[in-house]
């Protein structure tokens, strides 16, 4: 990309829910020479907080929200669509950041925006990972890491987990319908990651959608949570018993 050059930019949004691999995907896309991919633009994700609060989750979120003007999401989307600093400009957004009816109307009207709809197949692991996100590891808040960090575990409310997992399913279906006239692809967390890079299939799907040449897309993130639910959930037996017979039982051994 040429600094100062004004491109006729394609715009795209990664739409997803928390702990679906979206930050990994965002950094992989950013590694492509033709793509500029921001974080959670709707809540000021690209804004750097003061060092005094950067290791604290809630103060950082509040600072970014205010600085971004997150109470006016349509203005943020308009500014995004006006950008010309890269051939392809992308940001990621969680379902709850796009819940405003005005945002829904805006997205329906602007079908030129391409969509990467990202989901995680194992909703149980996704919920547990989200619950662990606020836990402090090695003395600080660390939802993502480039090196191995201490494993933490937590108590999970089975009822809260079921409510949240069903809500994630509803939100996915809602946005599939809302964006049915957009050009889009679906990526699945479990299939898109190959070590520290996008899998071949995910890479080709992304490059085809964004109309850029195929190139390796990688980042230096490592997993912060173990694969086994038993190592993350203190009351695993209670959770397993509550999920028995539900649509989520299949994910306990996945």
What's the total number of domains in the chain? 1
Task: Please report whether residue 3 resides in a domain.
Answer: no
Task: Note down the domain range covering 103.
Answer: 10-251
Secondary structure (DSSP) of 114-132: EEEEEE-S-HHHHHHHHHH
Poorest-confidence range of 51-60, 100-109, 161-170, 227-236?
51-60
Task: Please report whether residue 4 resides in a domain.
Answer: no
* Spacing of C-alpha 91 from chain mean position: 10
45: pLDDT confidence band, cut at 50, 70 and 90?
confident
Task: Please report whether residue 155 resides in a domain.
Answer: yes
225: pLDDT confidence band, cut at 50, 70 and 90?
confident
Task: Please report whether residue 192 resides in a domain.
Answer: yes
- Provide the β-strand partners of residue 12: 90, 114
Task: Please report whether residue 149 resides in a domain.
Answer: yes
pLDDT for residue 140 is more than 60: no
Closest CA to 94 of 22, 3, 26: 22
8 Å CB contact between 68 and 44: yes
Q: Checking DSSP bridges between strand 140-141 and strand 136-137, what pairing results, if any?
A: antiparallel
Looking up residue 34, the CATH number of its domain turns out to be 3.40.50
State the average pLDDT for the chain.
93
For the chain, what is the largest distance between any 2 Cα atoms, rounded to a whole number of angstroms? 59
The tokens describing 60, both together, are: 């950082």
8 Å CB contact between 119 and 20: yes
Report the pLDDT averaged over residues 189-195: 96
Interatomic CA distance for residues 199 and 189, integer angstroms: 10
Task: Please report whether residue 2 resides in a domain.
Answer: no
> In degrees to the nearest 10, what's the CA dihedral of 11, 13, 14, 16?
-170
| pLDDT reported for residue 33 | 97
Beta strands (DSSP E) in 67-177 are 88-94, 114-119, 136-137, 140-141
| pLDDT reported for residue 222 | 82
> Is 124 exposed, middle or buried (CB count within 10 Å of its CB: 0-12, 13-18, 19+)?
buried
């Amino acid at each position: 990309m040429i600094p100062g050059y004004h491109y006729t930019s394609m715009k795209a949004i990664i739409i997803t829910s928390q702990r679906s691999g979206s930050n990994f995907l965002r950094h992989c896309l950013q590694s492509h020479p033709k793509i500029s991919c921001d974080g959670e633009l709707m809540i000021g994700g690209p804004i750097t907080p003061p060092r005094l609060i950067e290791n604290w989750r809630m103060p950082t979120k509040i600072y970014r929200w205010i600085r971004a003007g997150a109470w006016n999401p349509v203005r943020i989307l308009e500014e995004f669509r006006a950008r010309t600093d890269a051939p392809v400009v992308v940001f990621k957004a969680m379902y709850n950041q796009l819940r405003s009816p005005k945002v829904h109307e805006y997205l329906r009207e602007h079908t030129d925006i391409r969509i990467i709809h990202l989901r995680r197949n194992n909703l149980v692991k996704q919920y547990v990972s989200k619950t662990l996100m606020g836990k402090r590891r090695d003395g600080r808040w660390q939802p993502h890491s480039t090196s191995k960090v201490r494993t933490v575990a937590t108590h999970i409310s089975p009822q809260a987990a079921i409510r949240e997992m069903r809500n994630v399913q509803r939100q996915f279906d809602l946005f599939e319908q809302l964006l049915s006239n957009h050009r889009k692809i679906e990526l699945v967390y479990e299939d898109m990651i190959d070590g520290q890079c996008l899998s071949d299939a995910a890479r080709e799907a992304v490059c085809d959608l964004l109309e850029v040449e195929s190139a390796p897309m990688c980042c230096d993130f490592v997993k912060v949570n173990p694969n086994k639910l038993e190592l993350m959930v203190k009351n695993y037996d209670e959770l397993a018993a509550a999920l028995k017979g539900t649509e989520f039982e299949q994910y306990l051994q996945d």
